[in-house]
Structure 1
Amino acid sequence: MQRIRLSRLGKIMSRFLPDTFTVLLVLTVIIASFAPVSGTTAEYFGYATKIAIGLLFFLHGARLSRDVVIAGFLHWKLHLTILASTFVLFPLLGLGIGALVPAVLSPTFYAGVLFLCVLPSTVQSSIAFTSIAGGNVPAAICAATASNIFGMFLTPVLAGILLSAQGHADFSLEALRSILLQLLAPFILGQILQPWIGNFLRSKKTILMPIDRGSILMVVYLAFSESVTEGLWRTISISDLVMLIAIDIILLAIVLTATMFGSRWAGFSREDEIAITFCGSKKSLASGVPIATIVFAGQSIGSIMLPLMLFHQIQLMACAVIAQRYANKLVKASNAI
């Protein structure tokens, strides 16, 4: 009996432990804090980072099956609901948080929160949690993918509109050109080659994972190196971090509640409700970090990315618990039949 209790306790605690990628992110920030890259080395590292980002979006395009996308887009009501949550509800909530500036939240951190609110949904974790919970996986694949495709355009545009008044970002033709060259062009090339290399890349997901995560870690290291050189940690306090965590938790809780109960009210099935809940409430760190380097080009973005990095771990912990509860309810319902 004691072993069973300890085993249950271990499973509960494991839900709240950071995932491997989060640990790597923290280690990257620590390394950048004590050994930031600068000067000519930073310049060449920046070139390498752009190449890595291009490769990241190429792989996204090459691994994406067109058949799945076409089939999933037929469920247009579900996709519109998820897109509305991602690119309408989140930004509106972000604007509401502006009431905390500057008394509670600094303009720089608020820029990070607003940027978080206009980002697309995650892909891998949204699909994984939908699968665990017994939801509509094909719809989740298509919805999360569509969110990221639209996000290449909507995120910079929305960021430019919402942040222009803050003086942190302004959408320009140069930003559009950078997005087309660094993100969209590699993605389209990957889609073109997908019929020939797609199956191979999907079968080598584990082997190629270091490329996905490595490119993000490179961007984070470069961004925080620049910020640390400019005195990042002299301007951030413990109270700032606590406030950002609280805002992220409240933001996620509101959207989770809205997507979960809103989808029920709209008459969606249980499977669709699960897909809407997980795809409509999450924000992509993998897409957000590369896009931030373009939207905030020439600026120190370390502090701007903090809300997103914190939100990344918070959403994983919360969604892990919710997915398990959905799964438990499904098991109980099956046993009752």
Structure 2
Amino acid sequence: MKSFGFIFAIFIAIGIAYLFPQGIELLPLKTITDIGIGLIFFFYGLKLYPTEFKAGLVNYKVHIIIHLTTFIVFPLLCLLCAPLFEDGLRSDLWIALFFLGTLPSTVSSSVVMVALAKGNLPTAIFNASLSGLIGIFATPLWIGFILEKTADFDFLIVLQKLCLQIIAPLAAGLFLQRYFGDLARRYGRQLSLFDKTTIILIIYSSFSSSFSSALLRSIEISELLKMTGIVIILFFTIFFSLAYFSKILGFNREDKIAAQFCGTKKSLVHGSVMVRVIFGSSASSGLLLLPIMLYHSAQLILIAWFAEKYRKRATAK
């Protein structure tokens, strides 16, 4: 329910951005969100669980299939969707969809849902944490590879911003984890609230830019419905494919749940942050967040339903 409250707050922020597209002049939103991004990854480094991270390390088959799905299969499936858009690889809507496909898995909701479904929790913690670390490099690489061929995109500038806003704070958090890690985990709820507040501000700022340029208003309802259909089909394709390959590889029930739940998730937090780092305050930033928000809403509802279904089966046995 807290996750759905977060989604509700996001749509309120979009509504305010629609009503006040010029932004709230009293607040230096760019400075606030830039600092917030750095703090998100600093706290992310502080909160990593080294013992549980190590406990999940040995289950390498599950790790391989999850990360291959997250960072290879998902982007390739999005690449195959390019002919569905009028301008193909140059379509802003397709680029937004492809950006979704390159993102890492979520951390908190993956772990919570795997726990609810009675899956392999150490494996989920390991993969969710590692996915966020891999995504810091994989997402910009994928985007750079595509956009350098279709648009004016300077990967070196993005790499500099990436190091300054994400990698340096993350490294500082990992270094200080032994001293302040327990304290950060103790106040995890408060830090999670800070993360969500920063994301809402980024979303508000991004949609303000898009509404100011009238970019989002140019999207037809049919295009929005098509995007919704595509992200739902992508979810079920990945979810049931992971179930099929988990069976072929001989995974037990707990590992299968971890693979399905971690392999299908995409992180709205990383997506919002990466939009700001890679694309800055461009007019298309709101559009780029559209598939992520659609997918995030769908994955929460669908994974929660599947988690409850798995939990009832485990309880019955």
TM-score using structure 1 length = 0.89
User: Are 1:101 and 2:100 matched, yes or no?
Assistant: no
Mapping of residues 297-308 of structure 1, within 5 Å: 297=280, 299-300=282-283, 301-308=285-292
Structure 2 spans left out of the alignment, 5+ residues: none
Structure 1 vs Structure 2 CA RMSD: 2.0
For the residues of structure 1 that align with 2:97 and 2:182, how far apart are their CA atoms? 37
**Which of 36, 42, 57 pairs up with 2:21?**
36
> 1:65 — aligned with what?
49
User: Are 1:251 and 2:234 matched, yes or no?
Assistant: yes
**Which of 255, 269, 294 pairs up with 2:277?**
294
> How much does 1:103 deviate?
7.3
User: Are 1:198 and 2:190 matched, yes or no?
Assistant: no
| 243-252 or 32-41, which deviates more | 32-41
2:295 counterpart letter in structure 1: F
The residue matched to 2:61 in structure 1 has which SS?
helix
Mapping of residues 155-234 of structure 1, within 5 Å: 155-167=139-151, 170=153, 172-234=155-217
> How much does 1:40 deviate?
6.8
**Kept after mapping to 1: 8 A contact 2:17/2:23:** no
> 2:131 — aligned with what?
147
> How much does 1:39 deviate?
9.4
**Which of 94, 107, 122 pairs up with 1:110?**
94
Q: Which runs of 4+ in 1 moved over 4 A?
A: 38-42, 103-106
For the residues of structure 1 that align with 2:150 and 2:17, how far apart are their CA atoms? 27
TM-score using structure 2 length = 0.94
**Kept after mapping to 1: 8 A contact 2:85/2:93:** no
**Which of 24, 31, 38 pairs up with 1:47?**
31
For the residues of structure 1 that align with 2:198 and 2:281, how far apart are their CA atoms? 19
**Which of 277, 285, 302 pairs up with 2:260?**
277
- CA shift digits 1:229-267 (9 cap, x unpaired): 111342122222211110110010100011122111111
2:21 counterpart letter in structure 1: P
The residue matched to 1:36 in structure 2 has which SS?
coil
**Kept after mapping to 2: 8 A contact 1:28/1:221:** yes
For the residues of structure 1 that align with 2:141 and 2:267, how far apart are their CA atoms? 17
The residue matched to 1:311 in structure 2 has which SS?
helix
> How much does 1:212 deviate?
1.0
For the residues of structure 2 that align with 1:82 and 1:110, how far apart are their CA atoms? 24
Q: How many residues align?
A: 316
Larger Rg: 1
For the residues of structure 2 that align with 1:18 and 1:241, how far apart are their CA atoms? 23
